[in-house]
A and B are shown apart, each in its own frame.
Chain A
Amino acid sequence: MSYLIAAYAVTLGALVLYGAALMRERGRYRAQRKSDSNRRPTN
């Protein structure tokens, strides 16, 4: 039973962590873009 739970937990954990890491990177780039486009017209 504990083996089974470990297998599912590792899989779920890894997939969620990987997805979250990608989402964070994406969010960082988006924020950067947004701040750029706010600044640009005033130049």
Chain B
Amino acid sequence: MTQNTNSSSHPTASLHEGLSPLEERVGRWRVFVGVGLALVTIVYAWAVVQAPVDSSQGIIQKILYVHPPLAYGAYLGFVITAIGGFLYLWRGREDFDRLAVSGAEVGVLFCTLMLITGPIWARGTWGRWWSWDPRLTVTLLLWFVYLAYLLLRSFAGPGPRTARFAAVYSMVGLVLIPLNYYVIEIFDNRSMHPDNLEKGSLGDGMGWPFLMGNLALGFAFVYLLLLRWDVEARRLFERRREAEQDVDQ
């Protein structure tokens, strides 16, 4: 080949490290989020330690500062997956599909941790690891759906077809959330979970450690999401470059 690789034909390849302007901007945001995460985590650790011990549940109640924030992260991840999938089907931009994968993977991680910390709390207060409580059941089903989502992606291999399959499946997953709640409301309406926290079920002095827990895990969620998005971009870039080299030779 007389020309020095055909990198100029690829819009992103000429930039440093093959990053698009959007990716470089996201990279900078991620650094800010990382700094915020580090600061908040220190305050969070201190807040959890000095938070008052619950009079009825004992010290195990301090799991409150990690379990619900994980749940919010999990649901946020799944909603991001569905939004990313929808935007991908609509606009066809790869960035959206990467957002969807990142949401699913980080969401599954948060959901797994929620499903681990939940039974630990349940063991300490309800006396058994598992109960078919509505929220537990829905979360477990959701966890299966998004594990299936990730499995579908890995079985279908890389490419736009996989992105479309995954996007359609994430729509199915999204409609399953309200459907499962509907099912449980009809058939199995006995919840062991406390009512919504807005109704003031938090005791004195528990509010701000809880807030710090949400902030810290929220920062962690955003940080991991952006990092995963960045890595997906690099994976795709490497894959394309290898394909180009195969063509060159």
By the criterion CB–CB under 8 Å, are A7 and B117 in contact? Answer: yes
How many B residues touch A, CB cutoff 8 Å? 33
Contact partner of A29 (CB less than 8 A), chosen from B63, B109, B121, B234, is B234
CA distance A41 to B89 in the complex (A): 39
By the criterion CB–CB under 8 Å, are B224 and A18 in contact? Answer: yes
Hey, which bits of chain B sit against chain A, CB under 8 A?
4-5, 16-18, 48, 59-60, 62-63, 66-67, 70, 109, 112-113, 116-117, 120-121, 123-124, 220, 223-224, 227-228, 230-231, 234-235, 237-238
Q: What are 23 A-B pairs with beta-carbon distances under 8 A?
A: A1-B59, A1-B60, A3-B63, A3-B121, A3-B123, A4-B60, A4-B63, A4-B124, A7-B116, A7-B121, A10-B113, A10-B117, A11-B66, A11-B70, A11-B113, A11-B117, A19-B227, A23-B227, A25-B234, A25-B235, A26-B234, A29-B237, A33-B18
Hey, which bits of chain A sit against chain B, CB under 8 A?
1, 3-4, 6-8, 10-11, 14-15, 18-19, 22-23, 25-26, 29-30, 32-34, 37, 40, 43
